[in-house]
Structure 1
Amino acid sequence: MSKLKIAVIIGSTRIRRFADHPAKWIAEIAASRPELEVEVLDLLDYPMSFLGEASATDAENETAERWKKKLREFDGYVFTAAEYNHAPTAVLKNAIDLGEFIHKPVAFVGYGGVGGARAVEHLRLIFVEMSAVSVKTGIHISFPEYLSILKDGKTLTDYAHLVEAAKNQLDQLIWWGNVLKAARSA
């Protein structure tokens, strides 16, 4: 089978965001898999108005169309999911609402409160409604790991349980990606 094209989507646009760490880390691991072709998409490069907002400019509408067109290139997605107030970022939810993910697998690398678990659970429910398939294994970067990366110079690779979760998650993403790609082609 041909390689699966996977997007790693940076789900935060906040100043001094942590999202670049997990996005770069999971993209490097995924790129080392011979079954995958990986591209990182940064929501900073797609400034869009909120879905249905009457004050959307032509440029924002054009960006939303460019975003949707870009997403169609991929067979699956890995999202970095920051957790703020027990939920994913508004900019990520908006990008999902403006995108197309029908019959494609999605995976999550969460961070923040309880490793981003509550944000990831929100996203799983959203993607059911988007007719996408969420893989079982999530990657959850806990607060002590988060701090050790920012303050002590550690990397996510220093945590064996995160590396193991990444392997399992990508195995599942590849399996679902191949199954759904074949089904979409049939």
Structure 2
Amino acid sequence: MTRIAIIIGSTRPGRNGQAVAEWVHDIARQRSDADYELVDIADYHLPHLDEAAPPSLGQYTQPHTLAWARTIDSFDGYVFVTPEYNHSTSGALKNAIDFLYTEWNNKAAGFVSYGSAGGTRAVEHLRLVMAELQVADVRAQAALSLFTDFTAFTAFTPAPHQADAVTVVLDQVVAWSGALAGLRTAS
């Protein structure tokens, strides 16, 4: 069965990302088209990139990199839950992505973002990063506003239509993950 990671893209204390990712996971678990798993980058305690060789060579030496690589490699696609910090994604998520290369290749990615502008600028940057990693990013996106989908900017209270947006993201990520399976097998 297709395996999809829902990646919590923030490590910030008091982060909104955990509540958002758990909500996405709750929606996903109601489906039978894939296995969905929460992956929290905070659990991997990744320092700033500390591998001597470029990730594209796959010569990982650090235990945290090896654990992260095993996890990411085990999935067929990803839903990134990302905040928007200063018109981009979190440094922690970008760093976690940059640790690896081949483990991301020929898979699909979707985005659930949040911020004052719905996190859309963070996703714009992530789409460029995904292209370099040979990840097919889907068109659909759930963009959550700190003004309308959170109470006092911290309590997650998504508008009802947002669940529909997440459903479309999941539909597309599962479809594209399946479509890319042949490429993953060939490589």
Distance 1:154 1:46, change over 3 A: closer
Whether the 8 Å contact between 2:2 and 2:34 is mirrored in structure 1 is yes
Matches within 5 A, 1:42-121: 42-52=40-50, 61-99=62-100, 100-121=103-124
Distance 1:84 1:144, change over 3 A: same
Measured against aligned partners, the alpha-carbon deviations of 1:40-73 in whole angstroms (never above 9, x if no partner) come to 111111111222477xxxxx92111110111111
TM-score of the superposed pair, with normalisation by structure 2: 0.87
Instruction: State yes or no: 1:135 paired with 2:133.
Output: no
TM-aligned CA deviation for residue 34 of structure 1? 0.5
Distance 1:107 1:154, change over 3 A: closer
Instruction: Decide which moves more: 124-133 or 164-173.
Output: 164-173
Match for 1:125 among 110, 124, 128? Answer: 128
TM-aligned CA deviation for residue 22 of structure 1? 1.1
Whether the 8 Å contact between 1:48 and 1:61 is mirrored in structure 2 is no
Tell me how far apart the structure 2 counterparts of residues 150 and 130 of structure 1 sit (CA, whole Å): 33
Match for 1:25 among 23, 26, 39? Answer: 23
Whether the 8 Å contact between 2:116 and 2:145 is mirrored in structure 1 is yes
Distance 1:147 1:160, change over 3 A: closer
The aligned amino acid for 1:37 is D
Instruction: State yes or no: 1:145 paired with 2:143.
Output: no
Measured against aligned partners, the alpha-carbon deviations of 1:92-115 in whole angstroms (never above 9, x if no partner) come to 001001133100001111011300
TM-aligned CA deviation for residue 79 of structure 1? 0.8
> What's the counterpart of residue 176 of structure 2?
176
Higher strand share: 2
Tell me how far apart the structure 2 counterparts of residues 147 and 136 of structure 1 sit (CA, whole Å): 24
Tell me how far apart the structure 2 counterparts of residues 102 and 149 of structure 1 sit (CA, whole Å): 39
Higher helix share: 1
TM-score of the superposed pair, with normalisation by structure 1: 0.87
How many percent identity over aligned positions? 38
The aligned amino acid for 1:4 is T
TM-aligned CA deviation for residue 148 of structure 1? 2.3
Whether the 8 Å contact between 1:10 and 1:80 is mirrored in structure 2 is yes
Which structure 1 segments of 5+ residues have no match? 55-59
Tell me how far apart the structure 1 counterparts of residues 20 and 182 of structure 2 sit (CA, whole Å): 29
Tell me how far apart the structure 2 counterparts of residues 9 and 46 of structure 1 sit (CA, whole Å): 12
Whether the 8 Å contact between 1:49 and 1:61 is mirrored in structure 2 is no
Whether the 8 Å contact between 2:49 and 2:99 is mirrored in structure 1 is yes
Matched position secondary structure for 1:70: helix
Aligned residues: 176
Calculate the aligned-residue CA RMSD, in Å.
Answer: 1.9
The aligned amino acid for 2:161 is H
Distance 1:53 1:178, change over 3 A: closer
TM-aligned CA deviation for residue 32 of structure 1? 1.3
